[in-house]
Structure 1
Amino acid sequence: MDIVVLEAHEIPAALGALREVALADGALAPAERAVIEEIAALHGARVDVDDVDALPRVTPEAVARAIPEPHRRKRLVQLALVTATADGAVTAAEVDAVEALDRALGVREQGVGVLRLVARGHRRLAKAAVRRRLLGAFVREAAGEEGLAGVRKLLGPLFGAGVEDRARALRYKQLGLLPEGTFGRVFWEHCTERGFLFPGESRDAIAERMVFHDLGHVLADYDTDPAGEIQAGSFQAGFIRRDGFAFLLFVILQFHLGIQITPVAAPQVGLFDARKVLRAVARGAACNVDLSDRWNFWDVVRLPLGEVRERFGIPPLAAMGARQEAA
């Protein structure tokens, strides 16, 4: 999910559209303002408080005239959805504003319907919709490759009904024998220190197809506490080329709006930090490989972690922050 997509001449209209969504409920909250400022900063435009307030009022139709390209239109609608969630209170008026933008731009983003459910208090329906979107592609791939057995390997661990495979688990455990500082050794330490089970180790161990999530934690250097998880999920949204926004929506609902999507983590409220989350998406987008798309990480487990990060084009966390401060 690339996030820096707008042309310079499109930025005023795009930021104005985001502000219209934020103002739909009558006020521009600090968290909403932060989203607008961060999108501007990522695009190289420094926007301060006065500039946000001075953005032009725009109609959805005017935005459509200013931004004709379909991909940039889609991303703007998705960023509008992020803006609508930023202050932690999704209102019908905000969803109406995003929906009007979506219609004018001809995007038809499914997330609009999800936030409509949230605004109406239908949290279980919203959860079901996001789960279907998250797992749909993985389930189709697993079924196509291995039939029902593949689907069981993927979904079984969520219900304690996965497949034990001692040989597979041993291969992961042997990563602990690699030299310190190598990617594989650091991944082993990451899992072992936290008590995470390796694929095949038990019936509720993570499916091997989904192990890219914790590999992403290691590559991006985000912790596994709730604040780290929302950033790791945002990084994941960035590197996933096929519907990465689904993962961004997932972590916002799970770790900001308090709607439990995954059964392996407790829901949290209020953890959306625009600067950290959007920066994490940008770092993921800079990654030159989609870690979720049949990536064979075994090819690089013996390399130093820093070399792997450099090979895949992942900006250092500190350097990313420095670039933004200078923007």
Structure 2
Amino acid sequence: MSFLIPTHEQARAGLRAMKTVLTAAGPLTPIRREALGAIQQHLLRTDHDLDALGPITPEELAAAIDDPALRTQLIGGMVTLTLTCDTVADEEQQAIERFAAAFAVESVTLAQLRKFQTERLMALRFDVVRRSLAGPALGQLYEDQGLLGVVKNLGSFAGLWENRAVAERYRALAHYPEGSLGKELWRFYEANAFKFPGEKHGAPESLLSHDLSHILGGYGTDYRSEGLVLAFQAGYKRQDPFSVLVFLLLNGQHGLRLTAFADPARGFYNDKPGAIDEVVRAFARGARVTVDFTDHWDFWAVMDRQVEDLRREYGIEPAAA
């Protein structure tokens, strides 16, 4: 789904609900206050005084928001917000459960939170990965190239062999026009000493939307920037976008290793003023993109196009906007 913009009154009710969840076990923490402020500024375009917002009951919230898609989105937002701290209180989960029950919606992210709270970490890893980026990418790889294609790509990534034809196609990007997506991708790999798809230890081609999002979004490769790219991807992803944010926060705030591609950290966003605001801003920026680059996007068809032209065509706003 695309991110839904609620009405002013729906937004106020939703903010009250999110604050109700986040204060269920104590005062609003600074990082969560920053997150709520960022949601207002970058997504909702509201400026409610958070301290003046009172609690709301599940029945009141259900009366204010009746759209099932908006209800599901709000539950996903609640779960994501609880994970911005490096601990989640049982009272916070219970508050979300009450809102979800009143909404009568099934939430993927709430099911993930239940697994996290009960320490069913193997099941949690499987569910988050299969829904966020890696799982859908491998699924599309299977659709496009069959089982043999999956085996070839994973074998290259594992360093077992080189798929020379694939690797040579990417190496040839060095000869693409200056400023083109292909040339910038080649520069990106060269500057970071990354292996090209097809080379030993090169990432599967189906995950290339992540690297191309670095280029189209103008994001770096340090740990903080990697989080922003994931948030940007969550914004434009139409299916299970909040699972990408759950992945980001489990990995960066809770120290949970989910894949071989992302090193975990615990409390990365603690004591970094503005860091969570950046994440929300990247998500909002992605939400205004007109294409889901993770959903069968034919990037080879535009490799020779200028990056600036593609940004305008896809609705990618300047990073500082």
- Give the alignment's TM-score, normalised by structure 2: 0.90
Residue 285, structure 1, aligned to residue 287, structure 2: yes
Aligned to 2:66: 68
Aligned to 1:299: 301
Residue 164, structure 1, aligned to residue 185, structure 2: no
Aligned to 1:314: 316
Q: Which runs of 5+ in 2 are unaligned?
A: 270-274
Given that 2:231 and 2:282 are in contact with CA atoms closer than 8 Å, whether structure 1 keeps it comes out as: yes
Given that 1:238 and 1:285 are in contact with CA atoms closer than 8 Å, whether structure 2 keeps it comes out as: yes
C-alpha separation between the residues in 2 aligned to 1:102 and 1:33?
22
C-alpha separation between the residues in 1 aligned to 2:98 and 2:78?
11
Residue 5, structure 1, aligned to residue 5, structure 2: yes
Given that 1:90 and 1:115 are in contact with CA atoms closer than 8 Å, whether structure 2 keeps it comes out as: no
Q: Supply the RMSD in Å over aligned alpha carbons.
A: 2.0
Map 1:221-260 → 2, pairs under 5 A:
221-260=218-257
CA, structure 1 residues 171+146, in 2 after alignment: closer, same or farther (shift >3 Å)? closer
Letter in 2 for 1:229: E
Letter in 2 for 1:311: E
Deviation, 1:144, is 4.1
Aligned to 1:86: 84
Given that 1:3 and 1:281 are in contact with CA atoms closer than 8 Å, whether structure 2 keeps it comes out as: no
- Structure 1 runs (4+) deviating above 4 angstroms are 153-161
Residue 182, structure 1, aligned to residue 183, structure 2: no
The one-character-per-residue Cα deviations of 1:220-243 (angstroms, maximum 9, x if unpaired) are 111111101111001111111122
Q: Secondary structure at the match of 1:211?
A: helix
- Give the alignment's TM-score, normalised by structure 1: 0.89
Aligned to 2:199: 201
The one-character-per-residue Cα deviations of 1:67-97 (angstroms, maximum 9, x if unpaired) are 0011111111111011111122122211111
Aligned length: 314
Given that 1:92 and 1:116 are in contact with CA atoms closer than 8 Å, whether structure 2 keeps it comes out as: no
Letter in 1 for 2:248: V
Given that 1:230 and 1:271 are in contact with CA atoms closer than 8 Å, whether structure 2 keeps it comes out as: no
Q: Which runs of 5+ in 1 are unaligned?
A: 320-327
CA, structure 1 residues 17+227, in 2 after alignment: closer, same or farther (shift >3 Å)? same
C-alpha separation between the residues in 2 aligned to 1:254 and 1:157?
25
Given that 1:21 and 1:83 are in contact with CA atoms closer than 8 Å, whether structure 2 keeps it comes out as: no
CA, structure 1 residues 71+156, in 2 after alignment: closer, same or farther (shift >3 Å)? farther
Residue 23, structure 1, aligned to residue 23, structure 2: yes
Given that 1:286 and 1:314 are in contact with CA atoms closer than 8 Å, whether structure 2 keeps it comes out as: yes
CA, structure 1 residues 181+139, in 2 after alignment: closer, same or farther (shift >3 Å)? closer
Aligned to 1:265: 262
Percent of pairs with identical residues = 34
Aligned to 1:148: 147
